[in-house]
Structures are given as C-alpha cells and as structure tokens.
A = this chain, B = another copy of it.
Amino acid sequence: MLQTFMYAPGDVRVEEAPVPHVNKPTDAVIRVVRACVCGSDLWPFRGIEKPYENGPVTMGHEYIGEIVELGTSVTGLKKGDFVVGSFATSDGTCPICQAGYPSDCVHRDFVGAAQAQYLRVSNAEGTLVRVGDGSTPDEDLFPSLLAASDVFGTGYYGAWAADVTPHTDTAVVVGDGAVGLEAVLSAKMLGAKHVIAMSRHEDRAAIAREFGADQIVAERGEEGIARIKQLTDGLGAQSVVEAVGTQQSMTQAIGSTRRGGSVGFVGVSHDQSIDGEMLFFSAVHVHGGPAPVRRWLPEFVDKIMHREINPGRVFTEELPLEKAAQAYRDMDERREIKVMLNPWA
C-alpha cells in the first residue's frame, strides 16, 4: 500500500509499505477514504520538531474510512462500517475517559500513520464512531467528517475550554489557521454573542466570516490586545482561544482576556514559557492540551450528517495521496489553508 513518510525537514515521500493488520484483539484496521495534513505536521516539516532523527517516520493522524479488519474483542462495530476516529485513541472506560478527557486515556496511543491507504487503530471500540448507519455517506460530507477527527474537534475544544456559553458576550480567537477558524465556528455553536477573529490574511478572514465571526481584528501583539480591550469596554473578552502555540500568541491571548475570564489553549506549544506573575495577576483560567475529540465526536457526526455545520470548509485543496509532499508545501507556504488527501485517487 501507499504510506507517507517524513525523512527530514521538507522531505516528505509516499512509498510502498506493508498493509497493517490487527495486532491486538482491541485493534481495527480501516481502509482510509480520506486523510489530510495537520498544522502540527508542519512543525517537523520545518525542522522545529525532529521525530525523524532516527529514521523516516510515518505521518498523519486524521482519517475517515471503512473497517476492513476487526479485533475479536471489538463488539460495537462491524466490518464495512464507515467510521471516523480521534487523533488519539482511547478505551472509553478509564477514569480519565469517564471524566471527559479521552485524548488523555491511560491507554492512549497517538495515531501516526493515517496518510496512507490503510491504518491500524488501537482501542477501536472506544475510539471509532460509526457514521450514520455505517454505509458510505455522501462524498460532499467527507471534508467535514474528516475535520471532526482533529481540526474541528480541536477548535471546538478551544472554545469549550475558553468557557464559551450563551452567557459569553465576546469570544476572541487568536490564530487564523484551520484550528482557529474552527474555533470561530465553535464559539458561535456554543452561543457566544459576539465573535472576534484575529486575522491578517483575507482568505482566512473570509472563512472566519462564513463561520460566523462578527468582526476581524488585524492587529497583533500589544496593538492587538489594545484593540480587543477597546472593543470590550476596556476589560478584555470573557473567552479567548489560543490556536497558534507560540509565546507571542499565548501572551496575546492572556492579555486579551478580561480578569476572571478564560483562555482555551489548543495550539500545540512550542517554546512557550508563561510568566507566573503575569498569569497570576491576569486572574484568568487557562485550560487546554490535546483535544478530547472523542467526547463530542458522535454529536459532531450527527450535526454534519444533518448538514447543520460545515467544518470541512477549511479544506481548500484535495490531492491524491501520492502528492502528499505537495500538500505539505502548499500549507507550509500558505498557498492553502488545509489539504485533504485521497489515498485512492
């Protein structure tokens, strides 16, 4: 089968690899119908993380597909089911899963080989969600179902962790990458009265508006904070999503939050260091980490199947899997927001 590997910064190759099979009775193997490239895949592509230091590594953690092989202990799913799963696998039964944090399951594995024709998924029973009755959904729903696997789930978690509710007057999203855009959509879903997207790219701002952003703020850093305060009676916003993962974006997020408000942080952290005194006197809540996507996945799938939301809008390009390297370059060079891969095209 075809599988995507990263060899070095900027060096992505699609090569022949053995088809995976069930190893443990709790595994499933799926025929990947669509996969995609994540913003977090760009960190190693840019050499900021180096997982390939000991050899090439498989890539990809977002997927929809059809179950082709099932471990003997998996009873809630059947071969042929069309499914979507989280980027982190979870048993669904441990205390951490039960508390609502499946992406921190004590038996968690991070999916890491989804940019391929087939994928083995551990903890299948707790991880995979059957789509509708299990038959293949309309193809125009593929992008949104795929988005639910991570990028939308992560944006949603950002808004949820920032405590967005119908009582939220103003929610701000720092970061106009795909996760940030999904956070805009999510903040609206969760009931924020007024959503401000911080963006300086017109193509991204346009999607933010489609997703319900009431206002776009182009300023960054101290100027961005000042602008948000100006728009919120000098107080800052009740809820702010940090969807980048840099020192600057975190500082901007905390600074834009009113005292007692909440920062949801879902940008995978890189070289961030949060000053304790600044955090203390900001009096904000900070919550984030790997999004517990599986918690909400059935609800997401339901809304997508009923065409109530269209989170797949962040995919601006679709390529055959064999052109994965181009997908990385297109995202790295910001020609595309997010690229979907078809392993069978």
Residues on A lying within 8 angstroms of B by beta carbon are 95-96, 99-101, 103-104, 106, 233-235, 238, 245, 247, 250, 258-260, 265, 268-277, 279-290, 292
Contact = CB atoms under 8 A, between A and B. Distances in A.
Contacts of A245: 276, 280
Which one of A235, A238, A275, A289 has the highest number of Cβ atoms from chain B below 10 Å of its Cβ? A289
A303 B63 CA distance: 56
Contacts of A95: 233, 235, 258
Contact of A274 (B101, B106, B258, B276): B276
Given A101-B260, A289-B259, A250 B269 contact: no
B283 A286 contact: no
B273 A276 contact: yes
A183 to B, nearest CB: 16
B286 A276 contact: no
Contacts of A269: 276-277, 279-280
Nearest to A281: B289
Q: Is the interface of A mostly helix, strand, loop or mixed?
A: mixed
Contacts of A280: 245, 265, 268-269, 272, 288-290
Contacts of A283: 101, 103-104, 288-290
A273 B274 contact: yes
Given A233-B95, A235-B95, A279 B285 contact: no
A296 B8 CA distance: 57
Given A96-B258, A272-B275, 14 more contacts: A96-B259, A99-B260, A101-B260, A104-B283, A106-B235, A269-B277, A270-B276, A271-B276, A272-B279, A280-B290, A284-B287, A285-B286, A285-B287, A286-B287
A309 B277 CA distance: 32
Contacts of A250: 276
Nearest to A268: B280
A288 B254 CA distance: 13
